[in-house]
Amino acid sequence: MGQNAEIGPAGPDDFPAIRALCDGFLDWCRSRYGENAWFVDRYYTPEQWASLLDSLPRIHAAPEGEILVARLNGTGVGCVMMQRIDGRTCEMKRMFVSPDGRGLGLGRRLAETIMRVAAERGYATMRLDTGRNHDEALSLYRSLGFREIAPYYEAPPELRNHLIFMEAPLAVRAG
C-alpha cells in the first residue's frame, strides 16, 4: 500500500486543513442533496458557517471536547469533532473524509477513536445527527452501536425531516 495513515489530535497548524475539510463536507452535502441542496444552506447560512469555522478550536476544546485529524502521509484528509452536551453526554460533529482518504477505513477509525476519547473523559453517551441521504455514514454509525432517537435539539420542521438523530452508549475499552 505504501501509505502512512494516522489519527491524532488537531494542533494549531491543522486548522487550515480542518477548515478545508469542513468546506469540503458542505460541498459534498450540496451535491448529495441535489435539488434539495437548499436544506444545507438553510441549516448553515454562509454567515453561520464562517462564524462556526472560526470558533471550532474554542467549542471543541479539551477536556470537554476534541478535534481529531486523519493524516495520510502527513496530510490532513479527515476530521471528527466532539463537544459536550451535559456532564454525561457528548456529541460527535463534522466527521468527514476527503476523496483522497476514502476507502482506507479512516472514517471508522475516526469514529472509534472519538468514541474512545469521549468514554475516557467520562461521557456515558454520544449523540449525533446526520442527513437522511448519508447512507455510508448511517451504515457506519449503526455498525458502531448508534440507534435512532428523537431529536435532541430544536430544528425547524422542514430541516428536521432531512435529519436522523442517533445515540450510542460509550464504554471504556481495554487495549
Chain segment 66-84, per-residue pLDDT in tens: 999 999 999 999 999 999 9
Domain spans in the chain, listed from the N-terminal domain onward: 5-125
What are the DSSP E strand ranges found in the chain? 5-9, 66-72, 75-86, 89-97, 125-131, 147-149, 163-169
| Confidence class for position 1, pLDDT limits 50, 70, 90 | very low
Provide the b/e sequence for 60-91 (b: ≥16 CB within 10 Å). Answer: beeebbbbbbbbbeeebbbbbbbbbeeeebbb
Which three cell numbers, joined as nine digits, stand for 104? 482506507
Over range 36-51, report the average pLDDT: 82
pLDDT tens by residue, 94-145: 999 999 999 999 999 999 999 999 999 999 999 999 988 888 999 999 999 9
3-state secondary structure of 104: coil
Q: Are 125 and 169 in contact (CB under 8 A)?
A: yes
Q: Grid cell 441549516 — which residue?
A: 43
Q: In this predicted structure, what is the pLDDT of residue 145?
A: 97
How far apart CA 144 and CA 91 sit, in angstroms, is: 15
**Cα 89 to the chain's mean position, in Å?**
15
> Which one is the CATH code of 5-125: 3.30.750.210, 3.40.630.30, 2.40.30.200, 3.30.499.10?
3.40.630.30
pTM of structure: 0.92
